[in-house]
A and B are shown apart, each in its own frame.
Chain A
Amino acid sequence: MVKEVVIDPITRLEGHGKIVIILDDAGNCKRAYFQLPELRGFEKFAEGRHAEDMPQITPRICGVCPTAHHMASTKALDDLYKCEPTPTARKIREFVYNAFMLEDHALHFYILAGPDFIVGPNAPKAERNLLGVIGKVGKDVGLRVILMRKKLREVITMLGGKVIHPVFGLPGGVSRAIKQDEVGKVKEVAKEAVEFALFTLKVFKDIVLSNKEYVNLITSDAYTHRTYYMGLVDEKNRLNFYGGKIRVVDPRGAEYAKFDAHQYLDYIAEHVEPWTYVKMPYLKKVGWKGFVDGEDSGIYCVAPLARLNVSDRMATPEAQKAFEEMFSTLGKPVHHTLATHWARVIEMVYAAERMKELSEDPELYSPNIRNLPTAVPDVGIGVVEAPRGTLIHHYETDERGVIKKANLIVATQNNAARIALSIDKAARSLIKKGKVDDGILNMVEMAFRAYDPCHACATHTLPGSMPLAIYIYNEEGELINILKRNTA
């Protein structure tokens, strides 16, 4: 039977990740449940507040992806006040947003996925960390990542006011135009971003794709689910982080639906399970059939892999080449959760190329940055692709713009059912005869690490690691072991 591992001091365990594993008489995993913290009461908190404050309030939900909330909220205000941004404002927003996506994806690839795919999933625990990643790729690469990230943040700060909790989005536009003396910096950072993204793609190919063991892991059945996929696409069904329509493809890759953000409630319903507070969105018309994949199950997936699965092609040349390479290697749609890391790197290339395209567009530098709202507000819905998937903000207000009702579907929530499915499948595949050691635990964690789950309550409190407790029960429901890890 498993050996108990307890790491002290236990911090922030309350409300945090918990996996419950039920073993059968032979010690094999019969069922695994993954419980996540839920965003507690933000919609209630929003009621009675002025909608125009939401782009400043909602980014505080999270210290890691505030720009996504700021942008979704700003777009909801455009809609609420029936006031489209000017072409320049839209382009400035999109430039900032792509800079944010690139920075966030780079962080995930090098810092979070790195220990699994650069150091290796079976490497000793002591090496599966940041130091291990730097040891493998070298300090020069580490420095390059940090410096690129710094430059991206500087340009976001310059255009957005602040990196964390940006303040530039207004209904109908943005708060400031790009100044003449800032043009050079915008162009320089965009150019460097493309070089950096292509370099990262090379790192991924050299280290991950050239390693047969990693490729086998990515394509293994333990990490494969044939679900629906959702993401924003433009009018040519190309990936777009900022706008467009929500497209859903079925497990065969055929278009199941394509709809405007205003119709999201026609397509998405939420299922409640007795063992978690997280509501699990599913495709309403397909229905909730439990934690199973396949065409009859309404479980869907968002985030990088889903976005590429719903796109017919990419809008930029180098990203298109990388897109073709991934799908010619793995087929389309790709159902392997761990291929999310590959998709993320392709999205980095797209984000950087899009920044460069925008930086070369004279309209980006026009002073025409705002249409003034004049309509009486009622309902506003905004959607963007956050790094971790489709993010929807929905506000209903009185005629003064005071919020009567708010609904947020955050990216990780969209993925909640698929994450639960991933954990269960990985645990069933990997836990045999009661053996649950650190290596197996890491492999189970890998099943949800690919999604980069977003838990707003962990913004920055001192210990950054996610405390995770694994409770193991026998078939009679008796608790036979608790494993605790990453508890600082």
Chain B
Amino acid sequence: MRRKPLVLFLGNSLLSDDRIGLELGMRLKERLEQRGYEVKLEEKAGLALLDYLWDRDEVIIVDNIKTGSHQVGEVFTPSVKELGTTTVVSSHYVGIPETLYLLKALDLNLQCRVHIIAIEVDDPYTISEKLSTKLKESLAKITEEVYHKIIQLCEPKG
């Protein structure tokens, strides 16, 4: 039997814009659950996400990114390849791409579809429980965009 799609909202609640995923998760949890999704808000890192990514049919990861090539608050869906590198210098830099590569290499999630929804942020480094002004101003708009992206990715028309 096909399992419910899992939406993973990631973030660090103490690192300013790094908390955007958690903020979005709090706002969207109820709506998504009513629609049949399983929703988790997590502050886990890197390989700790393995527990969520294997033995699944469909996972949507919502997290922040700082590329410098998108507007702050822009919501986009990078591929794992676009994000990825598999050479790391510290366990603190093992990210989602490395985790997915590992699962793939071990044949652990061959059936799983993984979607990534990224939100461009301004400051994911400063210790603060508040979002940066730019991001906070667009929070309502970002919330709706992320919601519709999830629906669009997991519930294709027809």
Contact (Cβ within 8 A) B65 A462: yes
CB of B10, distance to nearest CB on chain A (Å): 6
Bound together, the chains give a CA A37 to CA B124 distance in angstroms of: 12
Q: CB of B48 within 8 A of chain A? A: yes
* A452–B83 CB distance below 8 A: no
Please tell me if B85 contacts chain A, counting CB pairs below 8 Å.
Answer: yes
- Asked whether any CB of chain B lies closer than 8 Å to the CB of A104, the reply is yes
Hey, which chain A residues are within 8 Å of B95, CB to CB?
Answer: 460-465
Known contacts A460-B45, A461-B65; decide if A64 and B89 are in contact (CB<8 Å): no
Chain A 17-36 near chain B by CB (<8 Å), digits 1 or 0: 10000000000000000000
Q: In the complex, how many angstroms separate the beta carbon of B95 from the nearest chain A beta carbon?
A: 2
Size bracket of the A interface: 35 or more
Contact flag A463-B90 (CB < 8 Å), given A12-B66, A139-B107: no
Contact indicator A462/B127 (Cβ below 8 Å): no
Q: Total number of A-B contacts with CB less than 8 angstroms?
A: 201
Q: Judge whether A445 is part of the interface by a CB distance below 8 angstroms.
A: yes
Please report the C-alpha to C-alpha distance between residue A14 and residue B108 in the assembled complex, in whole angstroms: 35
Contact: A61 with B69, CB < 8 Å? no
Please state if B43 and A460 are interface contacts (CB–CB under 8 Å).
Answer: yes
B106: which A residues are within 8 A, CB to CB? Answer: 134, 139, 142-143, 146
Complex: chain B residue closest to A129, CB-CB: B86
Which of B13-21, B26-34, B138-146 lies at the binding interface?
B13-21
Q: Tell whether B135 is near chain A: CB-to-CB under 8 Å.
A: no
Interface assignment of B1: CB less than 8 Å from any CB of chain A: no
Minimum Cβ distance to chain B for residue A448 (Å): 7
In the complex with contacts A146-B108, A461-B124, A463-B97, A449-B65 CB distance below 8 A: no
Question: Do the beta carbons of B97 and A108 come within 8 Å of each other?
Answer: no
Cβ contact within 8 Å between A163 and B89: no
Proximity string of chain A (137-169) to chain B, C-beta cutoff 8 Å, 1 when within and 0 when not: 001001100100110010000000001110000
Determine if A459 and B92 form an interchain contact, defined as CB atoms under 8 angstroms apart: yes
Let me know if A253 is at the binding interface, CB within 8 A.
no
Is B116 part of the binding interface, using a Cβ–Cβ cutoff of 8 Å? yes
Contacts of B96 in A (CB 8 A): 462, 464
Is B91 engaged at the interface, CB distance under 8 Å to the other chain? Answer: yes
- Closest B residue to A43 by beta carbon equals B127
* Inter-chain pairs besides A139-B107, A153-B48, 15 sampled, C-beta below 8 Å: A9-B68, A9-B82, A57-B14, A62-B92, A112-B89, A139-B106, A146-B108, A150-B51, A454-B92, A455-B93, A460-B11, A464-B95, A486-B88, A488-B83, A488-B97
| A-B interface, 3 closest residue pairs, ranked by CB to CB distance from nearest | A464-B95, A63-B45, A129-B86
